[in-house]
Amino acid sequence: MAGHVDALYFFLVALTAFFTAGISFAILYFSVRYRKQRSPEATQVHGSTALELLWSGIPLVIVMAIFVWSAVIFFMQTRPPKGAMEIYCVGRQWMWKFEHVEGQREINELHVPAGRDVRMIMTSQDVIHSFFVPAFRVKTDVLPGRYTSTWFHATVPGRYHLFCAEYCGTQHSGMIGEVVVLDAADYQRWAEGGVDGSLASAGEKSFQHYGCAMCHRTDTAGRAPNLVGAFGKQVLLDDGRTMTLDESYVRESILNPGAKIVSGFKNIMPTFEGQLSEEEVIGLVAYVKALGNGTAGPPIPVSEPNSGAYPVTPKTEPSAVKSDRPGPPAPRATRAQPAKER
Ligand code: CUA
């Protein structure tokens, strides 16, 4: 992205320099050329349509070119390419926390492979921060209460500055870190070290612990939507709208379940606002995502008879496991932890 941003930036600088120089020169030249001499009477010149069209038309073309050029870059920057690897980021006063899908956790240091698209899914635990990597020309606000996302494609291995670019309190200037870009082999070596379970498996534990599996069941007896194969799909809501089930929707549904009810279901889920850390929410999001693309097994079924009072989910077959990562453990017959009714 850096080449695109720089080209636009240098064009703007050159354009500005050209007009600054041209106008300054004209002022000087006319001051001398038309200074008060023998004839103090000015000659009045009346309008010229051709001239007015020219000095409106040329700037119009220039600014529209800048607008279209900038818009193209903006769209490139805001739309992460398909297949990008995903890394979760939580900003807080005053540090950066990163969570890799494979389970590595880092603070103020972010390891990424060179030559791959990386999508950051970011949120803040407290106030507004801004994820800024000058070398990548990436700067995106990190907001409490929602996910924002950005992406980059590092090309050269090395260490790059990471800054917070939004004033966030006393230690704002100390909220710095490093992005460590490794070549593919080094990254592979780094990624294999010291991991105790993927993000999705941590999410699965929360899913059991908080009793989500009581209602989000894979059989047809659930009181809540079946989440297997659901991530990334279109969802029909009870008010007729259609939503894509993305990270933000999962997050909102955990913290504010009544906001977007899936058509055919009742607003019966309690909120988990204030009960989950951002990391736990991220784990659950990663788990729902893994359920969606077949890289996690189905939730452990809970043997609780359905009263019949609630509509049932249409049965969906889990999609085939496509990941080359080792799969999660197969569903157990009994759940490890009794799910609590909330
Ligand atoms: Cu975080 Cu400034």
pLDDT higher than threshold 90 for residue 337: no
For the segment 282-308, what is each residue's pLDDT rounded down to a tens digit? 888 888 888 876 555 555 444 443 333
User: What pLDDT score does 329 carry?
Assistant: 45
Phi and psi at residue 111, to the nearest 5°: -95, 130
Helix (H), strand (E) at residue 282: helix 278-293
Helix (H), strand (E) at residue 185: helix 184-192
* The model's pTM: 0.66
Across 235-254, b (16+ Cβ under 10 Å) vs e yields beeeeeeeeebbbbbbbbbb
Centre of ligand 1 to C-alpha 131, Å, is 9
Q: Which long-range contacts (CB under 8 A, 24 or more apart) does 100-103 make?
A: 100/191, 100/199, 101/198, 101/199, 101/200, 101/286, 102/191, 102/195, 102/198, 102/199, 102/325, 103/195, 103/196, 103/197, 103/198, 103/199, 103/201, 103/202
DSSP for 119-158 reads: EEEEEESSS-EEEEEGGGTEEEEE-BTS-EEEEEE--S-E
Centre of ligand 1 to C-alpha 58, Å, is 42
3-class secondary structure, 68: helix
Whole-number Cα distances in Å, 298 to 7, 51, 111, 292, 319: 49, 72, 31, 10, 10
For residue 167, give the ligand 1 atom closest to its CA: 2
Query: Is any ligand 1 atom within 6 A of the Cβ of residue 129?
Result: yes
For residue 169, give the ligand 1 atom closest to its CA: 2
Percent of the chain beyond pLDDT 70?
Answer: 82
User: What pLDDT score does 305 carry?
Assistant: 39
Q: How far apart are CA 220 and CA 169, in angstroms?
A: 50
The residue type of 57 is: G
DSSP for 8-22 reads: HHHHHHHHHHHHHHH
For residue 94, give the ligand 1 atom closest to its CA: 1
Percent of the chain beyond pLDDT 90?
Answer: 36
Confidence category of residue 96, pLDDT binned at 50, 70, 90: very high
Tokens matching residue 129: 């921060």
For the segment 197-218, the average pLDDT, to the nearest whole number, is 78
Query: Is any ligand 1 atom within 6 A of the Cβ of residue 162?
Result: no
For the segment 19-29, the average pLDDT, to the nearest whole number, is 96
For the segment 314-330, what is each residue's pLDDT rounded down to a tens digit? 444 444 434 444 444 44
Tokens matching residue 243: 């939503």
Query: Is any ligand 1 atom within 6 A of the Cβ of residue 164?
Result: yes
Tokens 């818009």 correspond to 71
Query: Is any ligand 1 atom within 6 A of the Cβ of residue 175?
Result: yes
pLDDT higher than threshold 90 for residue 143: yes
Q: Which residue has its alpha carbon closest to ligand 1 atom 1?
A: 129
Look at strands 158-164 and 148-153 and give their pairing.
Answer: unpaired
Centre of ligand 1 to C-alpha 163, Å, is 8
For residue 175, give the ligand 1 atom closest to its CA: 1
User: What pLDDT score does 243 carry?
Assistant: 83
pLDDT higher than threshold 70 for residue 336: no
Q: How far apart are CA 264 and CA 224, in angstroms?
A: 9
* Helices 278-293 and 199-209: angle between axes, nearest 10 degrees: 100
